[in-house]
Structure 1
Amino acid sequence: MNQRDDRPEARKQRITVVDEPQALTAYLDDLLQEIAEVTPRPSAPEVPPAVVKPAPAAPARALVTPIKPVPVAPPPPPTAPVQDHPPAWARKPFQCLLFRLGGVTLAIPLVKLTGILAMPRDITPMPGHSALFLGLTEHHGRKVKVVDISPHVLPPDRLAQRPPPGNLILIDEGRWGLVCDRVEETLTLSPELVRWRSPSGKRPWLSGTVIKHLCAILDADYLARSLEQGTWG
């Protein structure tokens, strides 16, 4: 009969396996706190109670029927915040590429993906740029700007656990390459499975999250636009 291994190393390994999904779920929940921060719609103005005037006195000897005040319904409660609608590319089931970055699963819509490369060995440094930019590489005769977004999308405790990057994910027609630990698989998602970021969210690089699959979906359009303008990170 198999006996349970209670050595300290084994117990530590079991705790790590248990805590890993919980830590990722907590991180995704933190990303989604902004959805609950949508400004609620103003409540309906209070309606003053209706005043019913008594009917004029009836002629003598006529039977007068008293009129009861008509009750006024209370104003409806404030409407709950409305979650943002899916972007145009996600109005129907869509596919995403899953990849790992610092032990966190991220996703990017296939319609926004230009290509996937093995991490290039030759990257020309770009002095004077943000630490976000690792340099330039070439793909099909075109210069690709290689960037590392991990300091801005990962929780601090994940940065130290990152393995060397293994792949480069190309977006914006190959103008930008996002480094990642590795690519994994494609996943088909229905819009209703995604908790979409609200317009007032603090993380515009986030399209939404899928708690069921423990992944966050990146907004590739925002990434490309803000990287081009130098306003991200």
Structure 2
Amino acid sequence: MADEKLTQLADPASAIASYLDELLHTATDTALREDIREPEPVPEARPEPKPVSLMETPTQALQTQEIVASAPEPTVEPMPETPALRPEWSERPFECLIFTVAGLQLAVPLVLLGAIHRIEEDIRPIPGSPRWYMGIRPATHQNLRVVDTAEWIMAGRVPIGARDNYRFVIRLDNSEWGLACDDVAQSFTLSPDDVRWRTARSKRPWLAGTVIEQMCALVDVRTMADLLVRAEREHHLDLN
């Protein structure tokens, strides 16, 4: 009910602007911390050989030195490697496609864009599904599970009637999932430096970064597909 009230009361332009600001903040809020690293652990000093006491016998002194010499050196645990947050396709220039959802611009790399389908008939709903799951789009070779993209990424701030504007479905790589959207634009080439990449993914893990010039969110397609599989299995909405 709370989400429905927010949806009904939200001014569409304000909701979109607010969410875009939040996306851009999420994509850049860790940039200032990317050079901060935990201090390297300081190895413990190797124990010094015990000095030979004048009162020890030669045999006792020899035994003491042998024990010290055979003692294992303290091991220093290596620093855990930072997980690779940037997708492999981001290491070189890549083609990108911008699409719009409820006035919000999102971008996907063409290398992981499976196909673009026009919505020519109603999506077949699945009883008991969460709001973000529109249903099934039948196809000759593969049925497509269609996501109400606005409900999925803008839960609580979706403009009224956003679903009525959907005209296309973008299939994510070779998965069974597709994102419903209002429109698609022409593709263009990005270099890695054209994107402000995220340095952490604790929130909105599907958000790879921000396309600087267009100021739009860049989708990590494979992460998004994985999240959708998990969400369907766990039957919930909150994927942030």
TM-score (norm 1): 0.65
The residue that corresponds to 1:145 in the other structure is 145
The residue that corresponds to 1:113 in the other structure is 113
Tell me how large the CA RMSD over aligned residues is.
Answer: 3.3
The residue that corresponds to 1:203 in the other structure is 204
For residues 121-170 of structure 1, what are the alpha-carbon distances to aligned partners after superposition, in whole Å with 9 as ceiling and x for unaligned?
13211112211111111223311101112134248555347361011101
The residue that corresponds to 1:132 in the other structure is 132
- The 5 A counterparts of 1:54-69 are none
For residues 71-92 of structure 1, what are the alpha-carbon distances to aligned partners after superposition, in whole Å with 9 as ceiling and x for unaligned?
xxxxxxxxxxx9x763211111
Amino acid at match of 1:183: V
Amino acid at match of 1:212: E
Aligned partners of 2:211 and 2:217 also within 8 Å: yes
The residue that corresponds to 1:90 in the other structure is 90
Amino acid at match of 1:217: L
Amino acid at match of 1:218: V
Residues 100 and 168 (structure 1), Cα distance of their counterparts in 2 relative to 1, 3 Å cut: same
The residue that corresponds to 2:195 in the other structure is 194
The residue that corresponds to 2:178 in the other structure is 177
Residues 38 and 128 (structure 1), Cα distance of their counterparts in 2 relative to 1, 3 Å cut: farther
- The 5 A counterparts of 1:204-223 are 204-223=205-224
Amino acid at match of 1:204: P
Equivalenced residues, count = 181
Structure 2 gap segments, 5+ residues each: 1-13, 42-81
Amino acid at match of 1:30: H
Return the offset for 1:211.
2.5
Match of 2:21 among 13, 26, 31: 26
Return the offset for 1:112.
0.8
Aligned partners of 2:168 and 2:182 also within 8 Å: yes
Secondary structure at 1:224's aligned position in 2?
helix
Aligned partners of 1:115 and 1:174 also within 8 Å: no
The residue that corresponds to 2:38 in the other structure is 42
Amino acid at match of 2:227: S
Aligned partners of 2:151 and 2:158 also within 8 Å: no
Secondary structure at 1:195's aligned position in 2?
strand
Return the offset for 1:25.
6.7
Secondary structure at 2:26's aligned position in 1?
helix
Amino acid at match of 2:30: I
Structure 1 gap segments, 5+ residues each: 1-18, 46-81
Aligned partners of 2:31 and 2:198 also within 8 Å: no
Q: Counterparts of 1:128 and 1:150 in 2: how far apart (Å)?
A: 19
Secondary structure at 2:89's aligned position in 1?
helix
Residues 93 and 36 (structure 1), Cα distance of their counterparts in 2 relative to 1, 3 Å cut: closer
Residues 186 and 31 (structure 1), Cα distance of their counterparts in 2 relative to 1, 3 Å cut: same
Q: Counterparts of 2:190 and 2:123 in 1: how far apart (Å)?
A: 35
Aligned partners of 2:117 and 2:170 also within 8 Å: yes
Residues 228 and 29 (structure 1), Cα distance of their counterparts in 2 relative to 1, 3 Å cut: closer
The residue that corresponds to 1:63 in the other structure is none
Aligned partners of 2:101 and 2:181 also within 8 Å: yes
Secondary structure at 2:165's aligned position in 1?
coil
Secondary structure at 2:213's aligned position in 1?
helix
